[in-house]
């Protein structure tokens, strides 16, 4: 691209600008050469790190967040050079097109929101190492996701070695191989190119990539779980430089961080600091636990109250705790793992579709967010939870039903503490959604305010039906219920 092309360049708000910059390819450019850029809009300057992409090519990626004229300067500087080589350019940031709502940010203590103000309720699933599978399987995963109700996907940078995950991937984030050893001072651009392509494809499907930066499912097999501190930092900075500008990136510091014997709590704090200092966009940051829960008497676990944590990412099987966690953390609660629908021998991997659906409802009705995952035994060990492929369970269509109902709710809906015995979300005097789960009351008395009339629907969350009751209700009202499991009541004020 020549200068005049760059001058006339137009880039949509919240999309990815990529500048390609030639530079030295001798020595180890990953270590020896620094690429930086400054993007300017009015008086505001955003500093961004570039990265080496192999073959003498350096790149800088940038996501402009306001429309209008931007200018930039790039700088390529070898560590042994006195001065670097600078270049300049301009571009125009145009308004976002339909379907581009910008990155997801924190709206308040309970909610996320897209940067353009559109509500975002995370409805996640996991395909932890789908980008490490054969191309055909990756394509199938995308086809499945295109029809599924999920708008967030948890996925790992590093490959996974674990039950049902014993195959070797083709590409690794670092140069080298397991047999001949990895060169932890050099990355493998082919690996990253595929990862980026997949992240962009998720973006096109409206799916946030909740990218897991470390995990324990290695145990020295490749050694990515036990790199030295310098390598960890190099890896984090490289990842941020390559991927931070994708508007659908979230940083998950780890999956099951407490199962990583080689990292200390100081390491996790340091990793958060590195991410926070190097990410010009301040993408969402959290960390996901193994068994240990936060407990005021047990500070061994990661404390999501720390200021650099943007939201809570939790593994726990019991969703009633969402209410208490909200009060403790005062940040949005995402239960990213609450067991998996399936029939694996592992305890965490064999709950029913009914149970998975009920856990979603229990968490959402308390103002939290719940993540799906699926683990059915498969003749070729293609298990969605980890590798992607196809979905076989009964919960996804119910999760789609839930997502629609919750997205239709007033945006200011929040957990209502006035109903202590059944999780209830809504807006006092205007809107109530109350979920009974494994409880099956024969009727329910609700204290609607006097002088306001409500239409009431009985929602069967499993059979996905909404049955509007005749007439309207006002004041203390008795609502007859079907006496089945997994029922919710929705009441909406009418004029």
Binding site for a copy of itself (CB under 8 A): 296-297, 318, 343-347, 350-352, 355, 377, 421-422, 436, 438-445, 483, 485
Minimum distance from residue 422 beta carbon to a copy of itself (Å): 6
Minimum distance from residue 440 beta carbon to a copy of itself (Å): 5
Question: Which of 163, 230 has the CB closer to a copy of itself?
Answer: 163
Minimum distance from residue 338 beta carbon to a copy of itself (Å): 12
Question: Which of 180, 445 has the CB closer to a copy of itself?
Answer: 445
Minimum distance from residue 262 beta carbon to a copy of itself (Å): 23
Tell me the backbone φ, ψ of residue 228, rounded to 5 degrees. -80, 170
Question: Which of 57, 377 has the CB closer to a copy of itself?
Answer: 377
Question: Which of 209, 351 has the CB closer to a copy of itself?
Answer: 351
Question: Which of 84, 441 has the CB closer to a copy of itself?
Answer: 441
Question: Which of 5, 445 has the CB closer to a copy of itself?
Answer: 445
Residue 254: which of 241, 278, 235 has the closest Cα? Answer: 235
Question: Which of 155, 433 has the CB closer to a copy of itself?
Answer: 433
Minimum distance from residue 445 beta carbon to a copy of itself (Å): 6
CA 228 to chain centre: 27
Question: Which of 310, 315 has the CB closer to a copy of itself?
Answer: 315
Minimum distance from residue 383 beta carbon to a copy of itself (Å): 12
**Both tokens assigned to 341:** 């629908």
Rounded to an integer, what distance in angstroms lies between the CA atom of residue 418 and that of residue 440? 20
Minimum distance from residue 321 beta carbon to a copy of itself (Å): 11
Question: Which of 30, 348 has the CB closer to a copy of itself?
Answer: 348
Tell me the backbone φ, ψ of residue 406, rounded to 5 degrees. -75, -30
Minimum distance from residue 488 beta carbon to a copy of itself (Å): 14
Residue 172: which of 188, 194, 195 has the closest Cα? Answer: 188
Minimum distance from residue 482 beta carbon to a copy of itself (Å): 10
Minimum distance from residue 214 beta carbon to a copy of itself (Å): 24
Rounded to an integer, what distance in angstroms lies between the CA atom of residue 463 and that of residue 468? 15
Question: Which of 16, 422 has the CB closer to a copy of itself?
Answer: 422
Rounded to an integer, what distance in angstroms lies between the CA atom of residue 88 and that of residue 77? 15
């Amino acid at each position: 691209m020549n200068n005049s092309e760059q001058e006339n360049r137009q880039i949509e708000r919240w999309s990815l600008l990529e500048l390609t910059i030639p530079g030295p390819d001798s020595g180890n450019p990953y270590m020896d050469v620094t690429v930086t850029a400054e993007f300017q809009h009015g008086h505001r300057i955003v500093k961004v790190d570039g990265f080496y992409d192999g073959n003498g090519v350096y790149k800088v990626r940038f996501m402009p967040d306001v429309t209008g004229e931007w200018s930039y300067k790039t700088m390529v500087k070898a560590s042994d050079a006195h001065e670097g080589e600078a270049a300049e350019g301009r571009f125009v940031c145009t308004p976002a097109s339909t379907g581009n709502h910008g990155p997801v940010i924190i709206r308040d203590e309970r909610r996320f929101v897209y940067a353009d103000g559109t509500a975002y309720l995370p409805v996640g699933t996991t395909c932890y190492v789908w980008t490490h599978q054969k191309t055909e399987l990756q394509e199938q995963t995308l086809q499945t996701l295109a029809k599924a109700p999920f708008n967030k996907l948890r996925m790992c940078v590093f490959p996974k070695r674990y039950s049902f995950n014993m195959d070797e991937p083709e590409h690794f984030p670092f140069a080298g191989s397991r047999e001949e050893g990895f060169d932890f001072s050099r990355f493998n651009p082919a690996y990253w190119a595929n990862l980026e392509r997949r992240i962009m494809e998720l973006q096109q499907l409206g799916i946030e990539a909740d990218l897991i930066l470390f995990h324990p499912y290695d145990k020295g097999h490749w050694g990515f779980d036990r790199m030295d501190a310098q390598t960890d930092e190099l890896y984090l900075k490289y990842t941020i430089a390559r991927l931070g500008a994708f508007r659908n990136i979230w940083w998950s510091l780890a999956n099951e961080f407490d199962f990583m014997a080689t990292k200390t709590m100081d390491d996790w704090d340091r990793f958060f600091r590195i991410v926070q200092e190097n990410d010009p966009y301040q993408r969402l940051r959290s960390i996901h636990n193994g068994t240990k829960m936060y407990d005021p008497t047990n500070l061994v676990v990661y404390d999501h109250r720390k200021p650099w944590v943007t939201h809570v990412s939790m593994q726990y099987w019991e969703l009633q705790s969402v209410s208490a966690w909200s009060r403790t953390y005062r940040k949005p609660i995402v239960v990213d793992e609450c067991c998996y629908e399936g029939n694996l021998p592992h305890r965490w991997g064999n709950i029913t579709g009914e149970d998975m659906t009920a856990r979603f409802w229990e968490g959402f009705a308390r103002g939290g967010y719940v993540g799906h995952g699926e683990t059915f035994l498969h003749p070729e060990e293609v298990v969605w939870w980890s590798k992607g492929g196809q979905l076989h369970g009964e919960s996804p269509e119910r999760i789609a039903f839930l997502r629609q109902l919750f997205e239709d709710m007033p945006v200011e809906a929040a957990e209502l503490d006035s109903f202590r015995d059944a999780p209830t979300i809504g807006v006092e005097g205007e809107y109530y959604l109350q979920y009974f789960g494994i409880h099956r009351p024969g009727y329910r008395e609700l204290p609607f305010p006097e002088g306001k009339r409500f239409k009431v629907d009985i929602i069967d969350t499993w059979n996905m039906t909404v049955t509007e009751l005749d007439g309207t209700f006002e004041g203390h009202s008795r609502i007859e219920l079907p006496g089945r499991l997994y029922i919710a009541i929705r009441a909406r004020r009418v004029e």
